[in-house]
Amino acid sequence: MDRGRRGFNVLFVIGILLFGAMIGSLLGEVIKYALPDGVVKDVFLRSIDIMLGPGVVDLIMFSVTIGFTLKLNLIGIIGLLIAYYLLRFWR
Protein backbone atom coordinates (compact mmCIF):
# COMPACT_ATOMS: atom_id res chain seq x y z
CA MET A 1 0.00 0.00 0.00
CA ASP A 2 1.19 3.49 -0.76
CA ARG A 3 2.54 5.55 2.12
CA GLY A 4 2.36 9.32 2.53
CA ARG A 5 5.22 11.62 3.38
CA ARG A 6 5.26 10.62 7.07
CA GLY A 7 4.87 6.93 6.38
CA PHE A 8 1.14 6.65 7.12
CA ASN A 9 -0.77 4.03 5.22
CA VAL A 10 -3.42 5.60 2.96
CA LEU A 11 -6.13 3.30 4.33
CA PHE A 12 -5.11 4.30 7.87
CA VAL A 13 -5.53 7.99 7.02
CA ILE A 14 -8.93 7.41 5.40
CA GLY A 15 -9.98 5.30 8.38
CA ILE A 16 -8.97 7.99 10.90
CA LEU A 17 -10.78 10.69 8.92
CA LEU A 18 -13.93 8.56 8.67
CA PHE A 19 -13.69 7.80 12.38
CA GLY A 20 -13.50 11.54 13.15
CA ALA A 21 -16.54 12.20 10.97
CA MET A 22 -18.47 9.38 12.65
CA ILE A 23 -17.62 10.60 16.16
CA GLY A 24 -18.66 14.12 15.17
CA SER A 25 -21.94 12.87 13.71
CA LEU A 26 -22.56 10.85 16.86
CA LEU A 27 -21.99 13.98 18.94
CA GLY A 28 -24.41 15.80 16.65
CA GLU A 29 -27.07 13.20 17.38
CA VAL A 30 -26.45 13.62 21.12
CA ILE A 31 -26.64 17.42 20.82
CA LYS A 32 -30.00 17.02 19.07
CA TYR A 33 -31.58 16.22 22.43
CA ALA A 34 -29.75 18.98 24.34
CA LEU A 35 -30.57 22.01 22.16
CA PRO A 36 -33.99 23.65 22.18
CA ASP A 37 -35.88 23.93 18.89
CA GLY A 38 -34.76 26.86 16.77
CA VAL A 39 -32.40 28.08 14.09
CA VAL A 40 -29.22 27.01 15.90
CA LYS A 41 -30.47 23.44 16.20
CA ASP A 42 -31.44 23.41 12.51
CA VAL A 43 -27.99 24.66 11.44
CA PHE A 44 -26.08 22.16 13.55
CA LEU A 45 -28.27 19.20 12.67
CA ARG A 46 -28.98 19.62 8.96
CA SER A 47 -27.28 16.60 7.47
CA ILE A 48 -26.24 14.90 4.26
CA ASP A 49 -26.53 11.11 4.03
CA ILE A 50 -23.62 9.44 2.25
CA MET A 51 -24.68 5.92 1.44
CA LEU A 52 -22.96 2.81 0.09
CA GLY A 53 -25.02 -0.27 -0.39
CA PRO A 54 -26.82 -2.35 0.40
CA GLY A 55 -24.88 -5.14 -1.21
CA VAL A 56 -26.46 -8.58 -1.12
CA VAL A 57 -24.69 -11.93 -1.25
CA ASP A 58 -27.37 -14.56 -1.73
CA LEU A 59 -26.20 -18.10 -1.09
CA ILE A 60 -28.51 -21.07 -1.11
CA MET A 61 -28.55 -21.58 2.66
CA PHE A 62 -28.31 -17.95 3.78
CA SER A 63 -28.14 -14.39 2.56
CA VAL A 64 -25.86 -11.55 3.70
CA THR A 65 -26.72 -7.87 3.24
CA ILE A 66 -24.05 -5.24 3.89
CA GLY A 67 -24.50 -1.48 3.70
CA PHE A 68 -22.89 1.70 5.01
CA THR A 69 -24.44 5.11 5.63
CA LEU A 70 -22.59 8.16 6.95
CA LYS A 71 -24.85 10.93 8.22
CA LEU A 72 -22.64 14.00 7.96
CA ASN A 73 -23.68 17.26 9.65
CA LEU A 74 -21.84 20.40 10.77
CA ILE A 75 -20.67 18.73 13.97
CA GLY A 76 -19.47 15.77 11.86
CA ILE A 77 -17.45 18.11 9.65
CA ILE A 78 -15.92 19.67 12.76
CA GLY A 79 -15.03 16.14 13.95
CA LEU A 80 -13.48 15.44 10.54
CA LEU A 81 -11.38 18.61 10.76
CA ILE A 82 -10.23 17.76 14.31
CA ALA A 83 -9.23 14.26 13.14
CA TYR A 84 -7.30 15.83 10.23
CA TYR A 85 -5.57 18.25 12.60
CA LEU A 86 -4.58 15.45 15.00
CA LEU A 87 -3.43 13.23 12.14
CA ARG A 88 -1.37 16.02 10.61
CA PHE A 89 0.60 16.69 13.78
CA TRP A 90 0.76 13.10 15.02
CA ARG A 91 4.28 11.72 14.86
Q: Give the number of other CB atoms < 10 A from CB of residue 26.
A: 14
**Distance of alpha carbon 63 from alpha carbon 61, whole angstroms:** 7
DSSP 70: E
Domain residue extents for the chain: 10-88
What is the per-residue pLDDT across 19-31, written as a single tens digit (0 to 9) for each?
888 888 788 888 8
pLDDT band at 7 (very low <50, low <70, confident <90, very high): low
Instruction: Give 38-67 pLDDT, tens digit per residue.
Output: 888 888 778 888 888 888 888 888 898 998
User: How do residues 31-40 score in pLDDT, each as one tens digit?
Assistant: 888 888 888 8
Q: What is the pLDDT of residue 90?
A: 72
